[in-house]
């Protein structure tokens, strides 16, 4: 069975190469023809440990395409891994997701599983199914499979994840998930199959919790400066509590990267459209927005 991966950025290319290394036949599609040309030559287009080696080893099982028709028609499993950048109001921009859906609706010639790896607002996967089935005569099962990749260890995180989270609302989708996840479960890697909405929320809630820890320790660091405490010793003492742990408790200039800033804004935007706005997330964002200036002022005032 062919698997098509749409979007060959950080998440998509990492997933495509690992899937090919597991002996799946992979079709890897991107609109960027220059990127596709380089990948056809065997040149990895992102910096990530081991990705070039895996790409070289798996070239016979992966086809790189820039024609959506040729990428979509052969596959019953299509993985969506396009970016969802932040709009000015903090909401995720789903333009690229809907461009993919329009191509799928146009070119799919069989019942298809859609695996959503892009980070999307809660409720999106259920809308995806309705959107496709209004525009195509075939049946579409949508699976939410949020990614938890860390830059610099993406290949490791796919091969040996801390956990696998899936959202599905049909028996067929759950059966496919169990077949895929079985080797991971045998290695004692936690596998959770839940609703589409739960899986979408787990991704946002996880990233926001990490962001909160970062902003919290940075806020504590500011108070330590005032009262004469050593924040590194304080962080160490906090981390010895097994309920808290040591991750994300290193004070610094705040969180950045491609995920935490947009995911905190995205979750706060989502909550602001309900009767339960997340004030903790709002405070997390505020601390982070001022942390770099605080850090620089501290350095230059010495």
Can you tell me the distance from the alpha carbon of 104 to that of 100, in angstroms, rounded to the nearest whole number? 6
299: Cβ contacts below 8 Å, ≥ 6 apart: none
Length reported for the chain: 302
CA distance 76 to 140: 9
Catalytic, out of 125, 224, 248, 259: 259
* CA distance linking residue 123 with residue 118, whole number of Å: 13
Is residue 259 flagged as an active site residue?
yes
- Strand order of the β-sheet with 191-194 is 62-65, 25-29, 2-6, 77-80, 112-116, 140-144, 164-167, 191-194
CA gap 302, 147 in Å, rounded: 42
Nearest Cα to Cα of residue 17 among 32, 208, 231, 49: 49
Q: Which residues are catalytic?
A: 259
């Amino acid at each position: 069975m062919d698997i098509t991966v749409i979007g060959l950025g950080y998440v998509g290319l990492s997933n495509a190469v690992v899937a090919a290394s597991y002996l799946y036949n992979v079709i890897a599609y991107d609109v960027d023809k220059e990127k596709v040309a380089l990948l056809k030559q065997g040149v990895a287009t992102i910096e990530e440990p081991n990705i070039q080696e895996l790409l070289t080893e798996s070239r016979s099982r992966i086809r790189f395409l820039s024609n959506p028709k040729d990428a979509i028609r052969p596959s019953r499993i299509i993985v969506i891994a396009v970016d969802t950048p932040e709009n000015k109001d903090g909401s995720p921009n789903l333009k690229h997701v809907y461009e993919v859906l329009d191509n799928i609706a146009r070119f799919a010639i069989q019942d298809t599983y859609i695996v959503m790896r892009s980070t999307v607002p809660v409720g999106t996967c259920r809308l995806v199914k309705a959107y496709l089935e209004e525009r195509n005569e075939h049946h579409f099962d949508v699976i939410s499979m949020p990614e938890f990749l860390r830059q610099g260890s993406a290949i490791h995180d796919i091969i040996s994840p801390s956990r696998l989270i899936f959202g599905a609302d049909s028996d067929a989708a759950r059966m496919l998930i169990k077949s895929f996840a079985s080797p991971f479960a045998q290695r004692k890697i936690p596998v959770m199959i839940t609703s589409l909405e739960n899986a979408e929320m787990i991704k946002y809630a996880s990233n926001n919790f990490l962001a909160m820890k970062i902003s919290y320790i940075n806020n504590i660091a500011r108070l330590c400066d005032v009262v004469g405490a050593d924040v590194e010793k304080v962080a160490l003492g906090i981390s010895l509590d097994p309920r808290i742990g040591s991750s994300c408790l290193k004070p610094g200039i705040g969180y950045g990267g491609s995920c935490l800033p947009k995911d905190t804004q995205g979750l706060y935007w989502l909550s602001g459209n309900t009767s339960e706005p997340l004030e903790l997330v709002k405070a997390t964002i505020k601390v982070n927005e001022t942390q770099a200036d605080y850090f620089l002022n501290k350095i230059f005032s010495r």
